[in-house]
Amino acid sequence: MTTTERRPSARRATIVDVARAAAVSRQTVSNVINQPEKVAPETLDRVTREILRLGYRPSRAARTLKQERAGAWGFEVNTLGAGRLGTILDGFVVEMTVHARLHDAYVVPFAAEDHGSPIPAYEDIVASRIADGFVLADTRHEDPRPAWLSERGIPFAAFGRIWDEPTSTNWVDVDGATGVAEAVRHLASEGYERIGYLGWPEGSPVGDDRRSGWAAATAALGLADDSLQARSVQELDQAALAAGPLLDAVGRGGAVVCASDALAVGVWRAMVERGLRPGLDIGLVGFDDTDLATAIGLSSVRQPLAEVAEHILAMLADGADREAGVLLAPSLVRRASSSRRGAEQHP
């Protein structure tokens, strides 16, 4: 096949097609197009041949975005997701804003009219040329954003794994399974005998990951009991309702680990309604270490948001290929709700 012959296809070739055909990363294809001096001659030749063979034409908007730098990164604020991420997203935006200045950049927040179908909002940002690329948060299954950005060669990095693309490496995440497992071991060391779990409905990749930490840790400690778990959406009344049977199951001397502080507050309310004292009667640990956790004495798993922001911004700044994403360990903040001795001092 000559270089003027192109494959018959109704679909326009994308940067992903070129990368796969040339056995290189998407970033390498982008470098061939925008910074060929960075690419080894053999690789440059191979990728160029595939670009010609496939008839790949880079997005004009994406090329403009790369060649005329705005010194800013777009960040979609999920106005519908506040109930799930809560102040974690707020804290992450603050850390991104602070650390961006250290990289001589800015963060440009924007909102999509429909978070379930956000691409039009991204198209607007690309067309306006006000950002060089994007920081993604709230990654999920069937997330349309990573593929859309990759196909156009638009730089991005994600706070959260690219769940439907295991080979993707441009992400930074917090190891939720490890954090929950640490909470389970802490509760066991405090003498709580039955350790249950309240998580989100099945299918949430973050929620499923955190639940796996509970399952693994209880099994390792000889405390595994699949009946000691419940699920709830991220809403106080629903969490309290789901917590009732779970509290009855673990009983006095037991404990509950939750996928978030919001769920833990629902458990707390259900405990109070039953005349149970957090820490003294039943241990309780949340996840995210929000301001509310500090205020009420709730033990919680803390995410290293400043470290996440720094890794993401460095990833965007250097644009280098990586062998793997970055998985950071969280830390457990112990308070009265998971210590019988501490609870006596924090009624």
Per-residue model confidence as pLDDT tens digits over 75-107:
998 765 544 444 688 889 999 999 998 888 899
The C-alpha atoms of residue 347 and residue 337 are separated, in whole angstroms, by 9
Region 251-276 average pLDDT? 96
- 326 vs 318, more confident: 326
pLDDT at residue 191, rounded to an integer: 95
Residue 6 predicted with pLDDT over 50: no
Question: Among residues 163, 112, 109, which one has the least CA distance to residue 134?
Answer: 109
Question: Among residues 2, 316, 14, 318, which one has the least CA distance to residue 171?
Answer: 316
The C-alpha atoms of residue 138 and residue 159 are separated, in whole angstroms, by 7
Amino acid at 90: D
Region 1-17 average pLDDT? 58
Residue 62 predicted with pLDDT over 70: no
Dihedral of alpha carbons 142, 145, 146, 147, sign: positive
Longest CA–CA separation in the chain, Å: 80
- The first and second tokens of residue 337, run together, are 């709700």
Q: What is the mean pLDDT of the chain?
A: 88
- Output phi, psi for 134, to 5 deg: -140, 150
Give the single-character DSSP code of 338.
G
Structural domains in the chain, CATH included, are 15-58 (1.10.260.40), 69-168 (3.40.50.2300), 176-302+333-345 (3.40.50.2300)
State the pTM of this model: 0.78
pLDDT at residue 66, rounded to an integer: 58
Residue 301 predicted with pLDDT over 70: yes
Q: Per-residue pLDDT tens for 174-200? A: 999 999 999 999 999 999 999 999 999
Residue 345 predicted with pLDDT over 50: no
Region 222-239 average pLDDT? 95
Residue 239 predicted with pLDDT over 70: yes
Whether the CB-CB separation of 260 and 234 falls below 8 Å is answered with yes
**pLDDT tier at 155, thresholds 50, 70, 90:** very high
Q: Determine the length of the chain.
A: 347
Region 227-253 average pLDDT? 96
pLDDT at residue 78, rounded to an integer: 74
